[in-house]
């Protein structure tokens, strides 16, 4: 039986501690928010739902998204995915043969009372978008919410300007 090297064990424990700390800190400012707001969200005070919707549509359209309304009254933004999105979703072979992947963002406005609203969204990679049988929508993990948080931060910034 081989005796475990204490130095290697210490190194392993340090690595695991660092990995755990990185995982905890990567949740960012959304730690105390409800799960539905944990991907990307901003709180906007003193603006109407219509103003928030218009600002969100302008920001997302400025980033290349097409804006849609959902049957439930929510907002939907969609654009063609990058080559990296295609490879990550459809694989190298699928991307080589032209598999189409779209980035879809579902956004909603939640009334928080006292004139405040939370604009929150979640993003998905969508294969075969629009195909009623083959469409496959895969949610992105919360760790990939940074670019979408940036878009929502831009919405909030625009709404703060007079």
The pLDDT value given to residue 25: 46
The pLDDT value given to residue 30: 47
pLDDT at 15 exceeding the cut of 80: no
Identify whether the C-beta of residue 41 lies closer than 8 Å to the C-beta of residue 122.
Answer: no
The pLDDT value given to residue 48: 95
Instruction: Specify which residues 48 forms β-bridges with.
Output: none
Q: Which two tokens stand for residue 70?
A: 């959902």
Sign of CA dihedral 57, 145, 116, 71: positive
In this prediction, residue 147 has a pLDDT band, given cuts at 50, 70 and 90, of very high
**pLDDT tens-digit profile of 119-138?**
999 999 999 888 889 899 99
**pLDDT tens-digit profile of 47-73?**
999 999 999 999 999 999 999 999 888
Place of tokens 């400025």: 62
pLDDT at 34 exceeding the cut of 60: no
Domains of the chain: 32-160 (3.30.310.80)
pLDDT at 90 exceeding the cut of 90: no
Distances 110 to 38, 41, 90, 92 between C-alpha atoms, Å: 14, 10, 34, 39
């Amino acid at each position: 039986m081989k005796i475990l090297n204490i130095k290697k064990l210490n190194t392993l424990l340090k690595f695991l501690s660092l990995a755990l700390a990185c995982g905890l800190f990567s949740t960012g400012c959304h730690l105390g928010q409800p799960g539905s707001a944990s991907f990307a969200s901003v709180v906007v005070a003193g603006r109407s739902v219509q103003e928030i919707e218009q600002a969100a549509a302008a920001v997302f359209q400025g980033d290349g998204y097409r804006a849609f309304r959902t049957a439930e009254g929510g907002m939907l933004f969609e654009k063609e995915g990058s080559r990296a999105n295609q490879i990550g979703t459809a694989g190298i072979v699928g991307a080589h043969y032209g598999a189409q992947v779209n980035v879809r963002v579902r956004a909603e406005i939640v009334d928080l009372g006292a004139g405040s609203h939370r604009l929150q969204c979640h993003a998905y990679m969508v294969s075969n978008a629009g195909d009623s049988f083959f469409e496959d929508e895969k949610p992105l993990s919360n760790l990939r919410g940074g670019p979408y948080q940036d878009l929502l931060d831009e919405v909030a910034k625009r709404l703060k300007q007079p």
